Amino acid sequence: MSTVPVITIDGPTASGKGTVAVRVGAALGFHVLDSGAMYRLVALSALRSGVAPDDEAALAAVADTLPARFVGDRILLGELDATDLIRAEAVGNLASKVAVFPAVRDALLARQRAFRTAPGLVADGRDMGTVVFPDAPLKVFLTASVESRAWRRHKQLIDKGFSANIDALRQDLAERDARDTQRRNAPLKPAEGAFQLDSSAMPVEDVVGAILGWWAQVQDAAAGVVGSSGDAAAAG
């Protein structure tokens, strides 16, 4: 078991976990893993190479040989800067479908775990606390209403220059939620002992503050310090 600490932040699409993970990582000086970006890179690569969206073996081969690199805040696919390309709705929608296949998830598992390096890691995704880093000392499950998530995604897409329709986004999010929670392999659900938080009406700063507070509690508990905050329940 690795001694490098990990904070996992799982949750549905557009729950804010990516933004929160980056800020928590910056506050603690930890590395950050956007696991969703890896599935989006598989989807983008499949689209560019003409791999059928239902060909599990071919998609797993793409995942296994994925020339992905994370350089600062840029996400590279070989020499292609895919940072903005993977945020397109067509790519995100395919990534959600690709992620259902066990062979694809297995192909990316070791790659995700390799991000666990000193001084620590904040990993966001859908199965970070349940499958990838089940021994993480702090697990968070971040959610938000479909309505608030649709408006967040709408703003994100518009800001990046993509066209977006709010009704279509609501439907897409509902469909992704269903795929993520109902898949047999690594379904989206809170990890055992996870702190759960609904961010629908919360500013990002408050969500980050809550997670940093929980991290302080975890550190105190590990050091044998028992305080009044140590009895907080893992509930939103």
Q: What confidence score (pLDDT) does residue 236 get?
A: 44
Mean pLDDT of 40-62: 96
Mean pLDDT of 75-80: 93
Strands of 47-175, DSSP E:
68-71, 74-77, 80-81, 121-125, 138-143
Mean pLDDT of 188-217: 97
Q: What confidence score (pLDDT) does residue 157 get?
A: 86
DSSP, collapsed to helix, strand or coil, labels residue 146 as helix
Percent of residues, the chain, with pLDDT higher than 70: 94
Ordered by start, the domain boundaries in the chain are 6-231
**What would the pLDDT profile of 203-236 be if each residue is shown by its tens digit?**
999 999 999 999 999 999 988 865 444 444 444 4
Tokens 């996992």 locate to 8
Here the tokens at position 190 are 């809170």
Q: What confidence score (pLDDT) does residue 1 get?
A: 64
Q: What confidence score (pLDDT) does residue 89 get?
A: 83
Whether the predicted pLDDT of 148 surpasses 60: yes
Whether the predicted pLDDT of 134 surpasses 80: yes
**What would the pLDDT profile of 30-50 be if each residue is shown by its tens digit?**
999 999 999 999 999 999 999
3-state helix, strand, coil in the chain (%, to 5): 50, 15, 35
**What would the pLDDT profile of 78-95 be if each residue is shown by its tens digit?**
999 999 999 888 998 899
CATH says 6-231 is which class? alpha beta
Pairwise CA distance, residues 210 & 205, whole Å: 9
**Around Cβ 88, how many Cβ atoms within 10 Å?**
17
Q: What confidence score (pLDDT) does residue 229 get?
A: 42
Q: Which residues of 3-42 are buried (b: 16+ CB within 10 A; e: fewer)?
A: eebbbbbbbbbbbbbbbbbbbbbeebebbbbbbbbbbbbb
Strands 121-125 and 6-10: parallel
Whether the predicted pLDDT of 196 surpasses 60: yes
Q: Model-level pTM greater than 0.95?
A: no
